[in-house]
Amino acid sequence: MPSLEDKRKAIPDDVLLSVDNLKQYFKIKRNALKAVDGVSFDVKKGEVFGIVGESGCGKTTTGRSIIGLYDITGGDVFFEDKLINTGLPERQREIKEASRSGDHKKASELKDEYKKAVHEVNKNRKAIVHQNIQMIFQDPVSSLDPRMTIREIVSEGLIIQGEKNKKVIHDKVNKVLNQVGLLEEHADRYPHEFSGGQRQRIGIARAIIMEPKLIIADEPVSALDVSIQAQVINLLNELRESMDLTLIFIAHDLSVVKYFSDRIAVMYYGKIVELTTSDELFSHPCHPYTRALLSAIPSPDPLSEKTRERFHYIPAAAHDYSVEGPTLREVSPGHYVSCNSAEEERYKRDVFGL
């Protein structure tokens, strides 16, 4: 396993967030539910990185694990080359295995690495994560405390970070409310007095008041009407440009993700099965699951909708992994697909004509 320093040196200069072999397992009685199982990707500065997949595929868990709402099982998460989360259970397991095998030198090195990782994460969690990474949650109702005013909700992060000047807090709250399309007089009202779209704007205001570098938007429009969805997405786009934000945009609607994202990762059962640019994904989909998702997008033209063919993804029928299992491979520049050697050759031949 590479050391933290080796992983750090391998991160390109234009990358803001690097996720390496992220694992998030949940114990259910004696079994382990592998919600996220070995996910790796980089998010470049200033881009919108989309994560798409059906309900239960692990995309929301990925976002929550990155920000530290869960203690991850394995892997490492770096923000601007600094470790902000690490999988302590996996590190402990590796130490035990090295000790049992009698390799005391390796066990000692792993223990030192473990201590370094714990120290760095504890130091960076508050200093970096709370200030530079914010999250917009899917449900604008349950994510807002009904007993707090909008001013209290939006300013809570500032107060936690140590801001005590009431005039500064007042002015910043008014500024961000205006930025998200709300009025200053709304600050003294309660969440139940607002519509769903307005509540989501409040959630966005709560995130941007911290002036973060990265926002994780967890299905921010899925609970809203279609007309309101467009308004919220346009708002996020405007804020991205005006505040120089980087976004991870999590959704299950590929058509929404295509409009908003620079690159897209498709997740299925806790793993990334395809990762490439938005345009490339739609013009050259490789993985059968990606093609199934694309075939489910309804067409606004009733004539073409009538003849639209749905593609159903059945893993047992689509793949033969009895001899060689899949890994995430670069089948064309910047286009990664989960496949084995035989599938890789087929994708290169049939999709790209190579």
CB atoms within 10 A of CB 94: 18
pLDDT at 3: 85
234 within a domain of the structure (yes/no): yes
pLDDT single digits (tens) 81-139: 899 999 999 999 999 999 999 888 999 999 999 999 999 999 888 778 888 999 998 88
Half-sphere exposure of 31 (CA within 13 A, CB side): 4
Q: What is the CATH number of the domain that holds 247?
A: 3.40.50.300
Higher pLDDT, 124 or 78: 78
284 within a domain of the structure (yes/no): no
pLDDT single digits (tens) 58-67: 999 999 999 9
For β-strands 74-79 and 48-52, DSSP reports them as unpaired
Higher pLDDT, 127 or 40: 40
Q: What is the pTM of this model?
A: 0.92
pLDDT at 151: 95
153 within a domain of the structure (yes/no): yes
Total domains in the fold of the chain:
1
267 within a domain of the structure (yes/no): no
113 within a domain of the structure (yes/no): yes
Q: CB–CB of 328/336 below 8 Å? A: yes
Dihedral class, residue 353 (left if φ above 0, else alpha if ψ from -120 to 50, else beta): left
Asked if the model's pLDDT at residue 222 lies above 90, the reply is no
Q: How confident is the model over 219-236, as a mean pLDDT? A: 86
Containing domain of residue 141, as a range?
A: 4-260
pLDDT above 90 as % of the chain: 71
Q: What rounded mean pLDDT belongs to the chain?
A: 91
Banded pLDDT at 226 (limits 50, 70, 90): confident
290 within a domain of the structure (yes/no): no
317 within a domain of the structure (yes/no): no
31 within a domain of the structure (yes/no): yes
With a CB cutoff of 8 Å and minimum separation 6, the contacts of 219 are: 60, 138, 250, 251, 252
